[in-house]
Amino acid sequence: MYGGSSESVDSLHKKLTDLALEFKRAAEKLSKKSRQNAVLKRAVVEEKKHTVELKTQIDKLSLQLEEKDRQYQEKIRSIDRLKFSNQSLKRRCEKLKDHIKSISNRHQNAQGWGLSTLFTGGIGGNANE
């Protein structure tokens, strides 16, 4: 009888030892997973913080880009206005130049001399006469 019960105690003892070892392994795995989880949680928090910082930078850069675009568009409009004014002045100068040529030609035809001769004393003349 003792022989049979001794086997049963030994078997029970082995099962308990195996269970204790299995429990110890499970506890170690749980502890390891818990540490990994804590590290991952910190990483997630840091990543979220970094994401917020990046979003803030993106928003700031977006506003700067919009301002630069507005300034660029204003400069283009200013250039267009200056081009238009320049063309207008160029047309006026051409008209004045043509008008001066016309007056000079009429005066030359009427007097036989050009504007240059008028200011240099004329044909055989003196400017002080």
Residue 37 structural domain:
22-111
Residue 59 placed within a domain = yes
* Number of domains the chain contains: 1
Pick from 39, 115, 118: which is nearest to 47 by CA?
39
Do residues 34 and 26 make contact, with C-beta atoms less than 8 angstroms apart? Answer: no
Residue 127 placed within a domain = no
Residue 119 placed within a domain = no
What residue ranges of the chain have pLDDT lower than 70? Answer: 1-4, 112-129
Q: How much is the pLDDT for 2?
A: 47
Handedness of CA 75, 79, 84, 89 (dihedral sign): positive
Residue 7 placed within a domain = no
Residue 104 identity:
S
Residue 116 placed within a domain = no
Distances (CA, A) of 15 to 4, 9, 11, 23, 100: 16, 10, 6, 12, 122
pTM value?
Answer: 0.49
